[in-house]
Amino acid sequence: MAVIYGTLPGALAYQQARGNAAWASTGDDEAKQAALLRGSVWVDNTYRSRFSGRKTGGRSQEREWPRTDATDAAGDDIDADEVPTEIEEATYEAALRELTKPGSLAPDFNGSKLVKSERKKIGQIEKETEYVEASARASIPVFALIDGILASLLAPAKGNTSTSLLCRV
C-alpha cells in the first residue's frame, strides 16, 4: 500500500501542465518527497470522514486509499485497489503548498494573537487593542482548488443539512 499518493514524476508532470514552475525550481527530490508525504497525510486528515467505503487493508493500512465499497459522488463504484486520480491531484496541490511554504497546510493556532482592532494615540500615549474570540477551527486553511478536485469523491460533511422546496404547479 502507498505511503504517499502519487509519484515524483507524476507531480512534476502535473505541475508542469499547469505552469507551476515553483515545483521544479524549489528543493531537491528529498524535499519534494517529504512535501508529497505531508500532502498525503493532510488529504487523509482533512477529508477522511467524507470518503465513502473503508480502507481495503483495514487499520494496518497507512493511507486512507485504496478503499473497499467506495463510490464517487455520482454513485459509481471505485475499485478496491484504486487510488483515484482526484486523490493524487489533490496531493500534488497540497504538496506544492508544503514545498514552497512548509507548514502552510496545518498552521499552529494561537487565538490570543488575533487582533480585531487596534487604536493608537501619540499625544499622551494611548494604545487600545481588541482581540477576536476565535476558535482553532477558524484557523484551518481552506483551499478551494483542492476542495474542487475532491468534490466528486466526497460525501456531504456530517452536520451539514440541505433543504429542498417542492412546489406543485
Model pLDDT, residue 138:
58
How far, in Å, CA of 101 to CA of 108, rounded? 14
Model pLDDT, residue 163:
42
**Of the candidates 88, 100, 102, 107, which has an alpha carbon nearest to the alpha carbon of residue 146?**
88
Model pLDDT, residue 117:
76
* Beta pairing, strands 115-121 & 77-78: unpaired
pLDDT along the chain (169 residues), means of 10: 90 98 96 98 96 96 98 95 98 98 84 69 79 62 92 78 47
Model pLDDT, residue 169:
45
